[in-house]
Amino acid sequence: MNNIPDGTVRRLADRAEIADCLGRYARGMDRLDRDLVLSAYHPDAVDDHGKFVGSPAEFVRWSFAMHRQHHHSHLHAILHHSCELDGDTAHTEAYFMFLSMNRTGAPWSASAGRYIDRFERRDGRWAIAHRLCVRDWAATDGPHEPADPTTLTSTSGSLSDAQRMLMRSAPPAARDRSDPSYRRPLVADPQRLLRSQALLGDAATRGEEG
């Protein structure tokens, strides 16, 4: 006799597809596989990665250049993840750990945080519609201040003043319900998007990447 409640198999399948999407993202980042990373997003998504805010294609271009410049290799490890399904929308929170072998400074760095995502199912396909990367702690050279995300990144020493200002304007992590993981719906901050786009434009003018 089948005692599985109605909808359980569908919910499990949805959660599995979302988890697979997170896995593709992590593998694509570590292999610098553009197509694999982009497969985790809808094309019109916005990724707010603290020191970058923009489209998936812009994020891949920026992040790959940054990793090539600063790291010999790196590991994006996805840890436990929560998933709240609501029809064709899901709000998820995936804990991550980032490890890197660095080209300059300390030989290695470790940091951890969370990918806070709004997933949407469009035409039967789950993918990220908006992502917010929140940094929670780091084991890197230099002082660490949990309230200042610029101290929780392996590239802290190379950040420009404008990048530091952008990172410090991001929604802060909190150990209560003011944490951005509780936001419904999770949406992009248009002001941060504009500021990041201006930074990217300035870097392109100077011929810089990352």
Give long-range contacts, CB 8 A cutoff, 24+ apart: 86-91. 88/120, 88/121, 88/122, 89/118, 89/119, 89/120, 89/121, 89/185, 90/14, 90/18, 90/118, 90/119, 90/120, 90/121, 90/126, 91/116, 91/117, 91/118, 91/119, 91/184, 91/185, 91/186
pLDDT digits (tens, 9 = 90+) for 160-199: 999 999 999 999 999 999 999 999 999 999 999 999 999 9
Task: Please give the pLDDT value at position 209.
Answer: 43
Domains and CATH numbers, the chain: 8-206 (3.10.450.50)
Task: Please give the pLDDT value at position 1.
Answer: 46
Task: Please give the pLDDT value at position 165.
Answer: 96
The segments of the chain whose pLDDT lies below 70 read 1-2, 141, 202-210
Task: Please give the pLDDT value at position 201.
Answer: 79
Put simply, whether the predicted model's pTM sits higher than 0.95 gets the answer no
